[in-house]
Amino acid sequence: MYKYDQYDQQMVDTRVAEFRDQVRRRLGGQLTEEQFRPLRLQNGLYLQLHAYMLRVAVPYGTLNSAQMTALGDIADKYDRGYGHFTTRQNIQYNWIKLEETPDILADLAAIEMHAIQTSGNCIRNISSDQFAGAAADEVVDPRPYAELLRQWSSFHPEFLVLPRKFKFAVIASETDRAAMKLHDIGIKMVKNAAGEVGAQFYVGGGMGRTPMIAPMIREFVPLDQLITYAEACLRVYNRYGRRDNKYKARIKILVHELGKEEYTRQVEEEFAHLLGQDIEPPIAELERIKTHFTDPAFEVGAPDDLDLTDPDFRLWVERNCHTHKQPGYSVATVSLKPVGGIPGDASADQIRLMAQLAKDYSLDELRVTHAQNIVFPHVRKADLYTVWKALDEAELSTANLDTVGDIIACPGLDYCSLANARSIPLAQKISQAFGSAEKQSELGELKLKISGCINACGHHHAGHIGVLGVDRKGVENYQLLLGGSEGADTSLGQITGRGFDEDGVVEAIETATQVYLSNKQGEERFLDTYRRIGMAPFKEAIYG
């Protein structure tokens, strides 16, 4: 894992001191709310529906156990005993007091964490594949490149006031586990014919009110030009992105309006110019970063055998564990989606338990996933049963990864001041209706995602089944979408028709799954069947 150097630590510590002074001046009346608001947002402190909310960055979703333990402690010490893991691989605290925020940021700085650039029209936390460094199918570990981008984008003076917020994702596998093409810039690390590693650039994707899939604009950017090319992409956007209309200010609109070819031409022109400016960090810096991401000390010859006689354990292994690149090891995902639970929430005790298990059994590492779960990336197969037993005692052993119970849901109107409808109660209702092991087994892989407003923090456009909550004259109403996907086969869901109330949308989902089961051929997933038979049979069954 990356370790802060003196510059990283000094930047974060300085920011804490600066914000402590700003809070003092706000409470003392030297700053108005109008003056203070952008300052608190630059430090991740929002005002939400019930209180201040602090969003803490988890760079590319990677944590060590000391950091995870501290996140649990912060939940106890400053919040109400829980945290919420988000679709940006971050963690949010919902009940923060302004006067305590500088102390929280100081606690975070002590474990090499912060909340900088988790808000505002800047480059946000870089997300990545939660299996990075462990996946059997990756070309390279994408995290050194994500870290290089993090360092480049932190406090980058030219990109702190972009037309709108800006999100990167970096992956390095054919299997896209990070919704890479639905980001402002998605980067896929690849190898060319000569075996050299480089970056494939996808620009102009996103969800929100105008969902778009990012087109590829450059097949291969050499490693010693990676930052320069990213800079060129941002410069063109910063220069021509619309600042007159916040709903048309994301880079996806610029790429769409200019057209992929013209945007690419302008980027290449800027890139050629920048190559002469010598802005690329020395390759030695990338090499220095890479030394922080070398493989941990895997046990050579660890046994691959697993005793699967316990049926519940077997189900969990089948659903929640993935192949590791190292023989004798497994990647284990902890679902934060118990039946009827709140997606992404974990109590302070659960957070600390996961930290301890990571320390004891996952070579000190954890990952946060964009699907609001936690990953132990390096578990010896010989330890899996012990880990599962400990999780089970803490109600963290739900075996539902990528099934209908593994619902992504934004905080919705229960917490969010932007939301139009509640997401969590609907997720709970669906989870209770479909969450049994039998039902999940019958339905197989089925990704269900719920957003409480058009901003799409719940990724509803990318759900095999998506739900969008809207406000219809002060009453919650839910639109149903089918056919979205976020992986290598990224697609955008289509709205079925008129919306439903909460019970109605659960019934409509039940009907949609029945249409799937009636039409399923062979091993088809819900998404495969939908793509083969189209919307019409679903619409006919749902609306009659």
Partner 1 sequence: MKILTGNDLKSGAVVWWDGSEWSKYVNSAEDVGDNGDAIIAREEGARRVFSAYVIDGERDANGVRPAHIKERIRALGPTVRPDLTLKPGDPDAGNWVI
Please work out, in degrees rounded to the nearest 5, the angle formed at the alpha carbon of residue 300 by the alpha carbons of 298 and 304: 95
| Residue 19: closest CA among 113, 83, 115 | 115
Q: Please say which residue, 22 or 490, places its beta carbon nearer to partner 1.
A: 22
CB of 28 to partner 1, least distance (A): 9
Listed residue (59, 63, 57) closest to 356, CA to CA: 63
Q: Which of 1, 11, 39, 49 binds partner 1 (CB under 8 A)?
A: 49
Minimum CB separation of residue 154 from partner 1 in Å reads 27
Q: Which two tokens stand for residue 401?
A: 């990864």
Q: Is residue 503 within the footprint of partner 1 (CB under 8 A)?
A: no
- Of the candidates 132, 321, 139, 111, the one whose C-alpha atom is nearest the C-alpha of residue 220 is 139
Window 346 to 405, contacts with partner 1 (CB under 8 A): none
The residue assigned the tokens 């941002």 is 234
Applying CB under 8 A, among 11, 47, 106, 315 the residue interacting with partner 1 is 47
Query: What gap in Å lies between CA 409 and CA 159, rounded to an integer?
Result: 30
Residue 425 makes contact with partner 1 by CB under 8 A: yes
Angle at 415 between CA 341 and CA 320, to 5 degrees: 30
The single residue among 17, 21, 35, 99 that binds partner 1, judged by CB under 8 A, is: 99
> Which CB sits closer to partner 1, 100 or 268?
100
Q: How far is the CB of 94 from partner 1 (least distance, A)?
A: 8
536 belongs to the binding site for partner 1 (CB under 8 A): no
39 binds partner 1 (CB under 8 A): no
Question: Contact with partner 1 (CB under 8 A): which of 90, 119, 398, 428?
Answer: 428
472 pairs with which residues across the strands?
475
* Minimum distance from residue 176 beta carbon to partner 1 (Å): 31
With CA atoms as reference, report the closest residue to 60 among 128, 138, 140: 128
* Using rule CB under 8 A, residue 424 touches partner 1: yes
Q: Does 475 bind partner 1 (CB under 8 A)?
A: yes
What's the closest the beta carbon of residue 469 comes to partner 1, in angstroms?
11
Q: Does 230 bind partner 1 (CB under 8 A)?
A: no
By CB under 8 A, is residue 29 in contact with partner 1?
yes
Site membership for partner 1, residue 97 (CB under 8 A): yes
Provide the CB-side half-sphere exposure for 272 (13 A, CA): 5
Count other Cβ atoms within 10 Å, centred on residue 261: 10
Interacting residues with partner 1 between 313 and 352 (CB under 8 A) = 342
CA triple 118-79-346, angle to 5 deg = 80
Question: Does residue 171 belong to the site contacting partner 1 (CB under 8 A)?
Answer: no
CA 63 – CA 177 distance, rounded (Å): 18
Provide, rounded to whole angstroms, the least separation between the CB of residue 440 and partner 1: 22
Q: Which stretch binds partner 1 (CB under 8 A): 175-183, 258-266, 351-359, 472-480?
A: 472-480
Of these, 33, 278, 305, 523, which contacts partner 1 (CB under 8 A)?
33
The size of the interface with partner 1 (CB under 8 A), counted in residues, is: 28
- Looking at 114, 181, 422, 447, which residue binds partner 1 (CB under 8 A)? 422
- Using a 10 angstrom Cβ sphere, with 0-12 exposed, 13-18 middle and 19 or more buried, the burial of residue 445 is middle
Residue 415 touches partner 1, criterion: CB under 8 A: yes
DSSP string across 31-66: S-HHHHHHHHHTTTEEE-SSSEEEEEP-GGGEEEHH
Stretch that binds partner 1, among 140-148, 295-303, 412-420, 517-525 (CB under 8 A): 412-420
Q: Which CB atom, from 211 or from 458, has the smaller least distance to partner 1? A: 458
Q: How far is CA 205 from CA 71, 74, 212, 284, 486, in A?
A: 31, 34, 5, 31, 11
Q: How far is the CB of 48 from partner 1 (least distance, A)?
A: 8
CA atoms within 13 A on the CB side of 364: 9
Q: Is 165 exposed, middle or buried, given 0-12, 13-18 or 19+ CB atoms closer than 10 A?
A: middle
Interaction of residue 414 with partner 1, rule CB under 8 A: yes
- By beta-carbon proximity to partner 1, the closer residue of 80 and 531 is 80
In the bound complex, what is the minimum distance in angstroms from residue 420's beta carbon to partner 1? 8
Q: Integer distance in angstroms from the first to the last C-alpha of the chain? A: 55
Query: Least separation, in Å, of the C-beta of 55 and partner 1?
Result: 14
Q: How far apart are CA 396 and CA 61, in angstroms?
A: 19
Nearest distance in Å: CB 198, partner 1: 46
3-state secondary structure of 197: strand
Query: Under the criterion CB under 8 A, does residue 297 sit at the interface with partner 1?
Result: no
Among 96, 212, 217, 410, which residue sits at the site for partner 1 (rule: CB under 8 A)? 96
Helix-, strand-, coil-residue percentages of the chain, each rounded to 5 = 40, 20, 40
Whether the Cβ atoms of residue 121 and residue 165 lie closer than 8 Å to each other: yes
Of the pair 87, 491, the CB lying nearest partner 1 is at: 87
Answer yes or no whether residue 504 interacts with partner 1 by CB under 8 A: no
Min dist. Cβ of residue 425 to partner 1 (A): 6
Among the residue ranges 59-67, 164-172, 307-315, 411-419, the one whose residues contact partner 1 (CB under 8 A): 411-419
Helices 65-78 and 101-110, packing angle to 10 deg? 170
Closest C-alpha to 62, from 358, 396, 389: 358
For partner 1, which residue of 11, 39, 52, 539 counts as binding (CB under 8 A)? 52
For partner 1, the binding residue among 27, 136, 272, 283 (CB under 8 A) is 27
Q: Is 80 in the site for partner 1 (CB under 8 A)?
A: yes
Contact positions vs partner 1 (CB under 8 A): 26-27, 29, 33, 47, 49-52, 80, 95-99, 342, 413-415, 417, 419, 422, 424-425, 428, 474-476
